[in-house]
């Protein structure tokens, strides 16, 4: 409820009770609740539409760049890479020797 504290809410309820009376207060509270619910629903829908509109070009650009990178990699290597192959043509996996696993010789 924003920056309203219990004291402010109590004052609003008392004023509403005095102005509307005990008979009309529940109906007015329902109407106010419905209006707030509709405003929140419209606001949420607007926010989602705006977010979708902003995200769509970014995602499409990322997909386009990914496709270009894959095509450039295929052209540079002359063929498609095998699954699990590194750029050196060695296979990754258990038993594959990594550069950091090999001991370095001292001069």
Tell me how many degrees the CA angle 3-50-61 measures, rounded to the nearest 5: 135
Residue 91 corresponds to which tokens in the numbers above? 């296979």
**Spatial contact of 25 and 16, defined as CB atoms under 8 Å apart:** yes
Query: Which range (16-20, 55-59, 69-73) has the least confidence?
Result: 55-59
Q: What is the mean pLDDT of residues 44-57?
A: 84
pLDDT for 52 equals 81
Phi–psi pair at 91, nearest 5 degrees: -85, 140
Write down the residue that tokens 């509307």 correspond to.
20
- State the average pLDDT over residues 27-52: 91
């Amino acid at each position: 409820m924003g920056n309203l504290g219990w004291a402010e809410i109590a004052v609003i309820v008392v004023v509403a009770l005095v102005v509307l009376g005990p008979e009309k207060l529940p109906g007015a509270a329902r109407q106010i609740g419905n209006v707030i619910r509709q405003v929140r629903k419209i606001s949420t829908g607007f926010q989602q539409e705006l977010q979708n509109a902003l995200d769509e070009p970014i995602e499409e650009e990322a997909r386009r760049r990914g496709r270009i990178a894959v095509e450039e990699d295929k052209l540079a290597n002359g063929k498609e890479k095998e699954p699990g192959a590194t750029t050196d043509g060695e296979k990754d996996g258990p038993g594959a020797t990594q550069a950091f696993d090999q001991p370095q010789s001292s001069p």
